[in-house]
Structure 1
Amino acid sequence: MEIVTSEFFQRALIGGLLIGVTAPLMGFFLVLRRLSMIGDTLSHVAIAGVALGFLTGVYPIAMGLVFAIAASFAIEKLRKAYKTYAELSLAIMMAGGIGLASILFTSGESMMDVNSYLFGSIYTLSNGDLLTIGGVTAVVLIVIAVQSKELFLLTFDEDAAAVSGLPVRFYNVMISVLTALVISVAIKIVGALLVSALLTIPAACSLIIARSFKQSIVTVILIGELAVLAGLMIAGIWNLAPGGTIVLLLIAVLLLLLLLRRGLRLGG
């Protein structure tokens, strides 16, 4: 248990717990709006930005953030162009992100460092990384707290929100940008290939056990925090990959809840 007292582990714990709040929280809104795959899309675009950051000597997370935000605006444009087939916007942007990342990966020897962003490298978080993650967390929590009523209406009935005079386009872009912010800082913690799990699985769990909007909000945060905390402890003690451990714990919780619900139905 000496690892718990190490500075790098304490930084990892702080960063993980911050992301354990924001990623499931944003994922909850995405799942309810049937945009679960936006996490994969933006993470692949962000990793292209990270690769460019390594290539140009710019702070990788900042470059990934710029790419993800740009992609979030592009997705909204494409969603309007393909109203009946809105999911095409995600497929197009994901393909573009993967294509650009594959080119950048092979453009310099330093690209080997990008592996930490693909699979997560929470133990290498710096104080600068923590400040970035903390800033994103503060922005997300403040926006959601201030705009909770509007987000509730938009999430459950976008047409009614538009009729009531709510600027739907603005809020759609806002949600996409907030998601891009969270994904950009989360990829160093759980990795671009796993970040969508932290966005969606806590929301999937809340759909099983929560009975109201507020309960769902609390549930996704609790599940995210518990998974991150337990995952980091298990990974630290048994020398496992932290990102993968967190994701597998989330899946285990989801399977357990599904089994419990099935057992209650059979028992009833």
Structure 2
Amino acid sequence: MFHYSFMQNAFMISILISILCPCIGFFLVLRRYSMIGDTLSHASLAGVAIGLLYNGNPIISSFIFTSICGVLIEFLRDYFKKYAELILAIVLSLSVGIAITIMSSGKLHANVNSFIFGSVLTVTREDLYAVLVLGIISITTLIFLYNKLVIIVFDEEAAKIAGVNVKLINYIFSILVAATISVSMRIVGVLVLSSMIALPVATAMQLGKGFKATFLYSVLFSVIDILLSLFISYYMNCAPGGITALISVILLALVICVKKCLLRLNR
């Protein structure tokens, strides 16, 4: 199947996003912000619609619009401190409203379904380059901010006392989330993108390992999810997004079952 250029592109993109998604998702889950990933993944659809409307690169336009939504979420946190869930509803309503308005206007002359459900057939070399650039920038930034992010995860107030510019880090991290979503939606799809951000991390947490070990296991489970879904979707001739979500849930269920069986045996 690797004789086809689109499968080569899809495979390279899949490897990149299987590393990037859990790296971002790890910090989102630990901070109880996993629903932000879901909100921004739906917001990315508006960015895609805007890009296609003006004949631009949908990945770049998605990154720009999703970054704006991520920054908006952080900005509104100061105004809705006691009702944080309202922020997600506001951003979700704005982005979905824009997406539906553009998509239903009849002015789009491109297939949006490949972004909604994920597709390996529509992955181009241009997409690969855009994903590669955004992915490298995101991973490099994440490595640079790793220690500060760890401190913020455990105690945001203590991080402020220690001199960490928490607000700036949060804004940068929101942009990293936007970049991760933008590079992943072509393969995984908008509707199930949050599964790649949260479920590998949830699976790794069941192992009860330390901080760094859980981080590495989440990447491992993510690679398994993505690659299995890529191969299965190719031979089943279906969208990889749905397969990815199913494999993520099945793998999580298997780990939980094995964990419970081992606990009973030890007893």
TM-score normalised by the shorter chain: which range applies? over 0.9
Equivalent AA in structure 2 for residue 129 of structure 1:
D
Alignment of 1:1-268 (within 5 A): 3-110=1-108, 113-267=111-265, 268=267
Q: CA deviation at 1:264?
A: 2.1
Q: CA deviation at 1:239?
A: 2.0
TM-score between both structures, scaled by the size of structure 1? 0.95
Verify the 8 A CA contact 1:55 1:108 in the aligned structure 2: no
Verify the 8 A CA contact 2:102 2:108 in the aligned structure 1: no
Q: CA deviation at 1:112?
A: 5.7
Q: Distance in 2 between matches of 1:210 and 1:14?
A: 31
Equivalent AA in structure 1 for residue 182 of structure 2:
S
Equivalent AA in structure 2 for residue 194 of structure 1:
V
Q: Distance in 1 between matches of 2:225 and 2:131?
A: 18
Equivalent AA in structure 2 for residue 221 of structure 1:
V
Equivalent AA in structure 1 for residue 249 of structure 2:
I
Structure 1's 111 and 76: CA in aligned 2 closer, same or farther, altered over 3 A?
Answer: farther
Q: CA deviation at 1:111?
A: 5.6
Unaligned 5+ runs, structure 2: none
Unaligned 5+ runs, structure 1: none
The residue matched to 2:34 in structure 1 has which SS?
A: coil
Q: Which moved more, 1:126-135 or 1:107-116?
A: 107-116
Equivalent AA in structure 2 for residue 248 of structure 1:
L
Q: Tell me the alpha carbon deviations over residues 118-153 of structure 1, each in whole angstroms, 9 at most, x when there is no partner.
A: 111233211111111111221122112222211110
Verify the 8 A CA contact 1:40 1:94 in the aligned structure 2: no
Q: Distance in 2 between matches of 1:111 and 1:163?
A: 53
Verify the 8 A CA contact 2:229 2:247 in the aligned structure 1: yes
Verify the 8 A CA contact 2:135 2:183 in the aligned structure 1: no
Q: CA deviation at 1:266?
A: 2.4
Q: CA deviation at 1:36?
A: 0.5
Q: Which moved more, 1:210-219 or 1:24-33?
A: 210-219
TM-score between both structures, scaled by the size of structure 2? 0.95
Q: Distance in 2 between matches of 1:162 and 1:26?
A: 21
Q: Tell me the alpha carbon deviations over residues 60-96 of structure 1, each in whole angstroms, 9 at most, x when there is no partner.
A: 1111111101001100011111112222211211111
Q: Distance in 1 between matches of 2:129 and 2:43?
A: 23
Q: Tell me the alpha carbon deviations over residues 28-70 of structure 1, each in whole angstroms, 9 at most, x when there is no partner.
A: 1100011101122112211111112212212211111111010
The residue matched to 1:70 in structure 2 has which SS?
A: helix
Q: Tell me the alpha carbon deviations over residues 224-268 of structure 1, each in whole angstroms, 9 at most, x when there is no partner.
A: 111111111112123232121122111110000111122122222
Q: CA deviation at 1:110?
A: 2.7
Q: CA deviation at 1:99?
A: 1.4
Q: Tell me the alpha carbon deviations over residues 10-31 of structure 1, each in whole angstroms, 9 at most, x when there is no partner.
A: 1111111111110111011100
Verify the 8 A CA contact 1:46 1:184 in the aligned structure 2: yes
The residue matched to 2:108 in structure 1 has which SS?
A: helix
Equivalent AA in structure 2 for residue 55 of structure 1:
L
- Aligned pair count reads 266
Verify the 8 A CA contact 1:73 1:173 in the aligned structure 2: yes
Q: CA deviation at 1:176?
A: 0.7
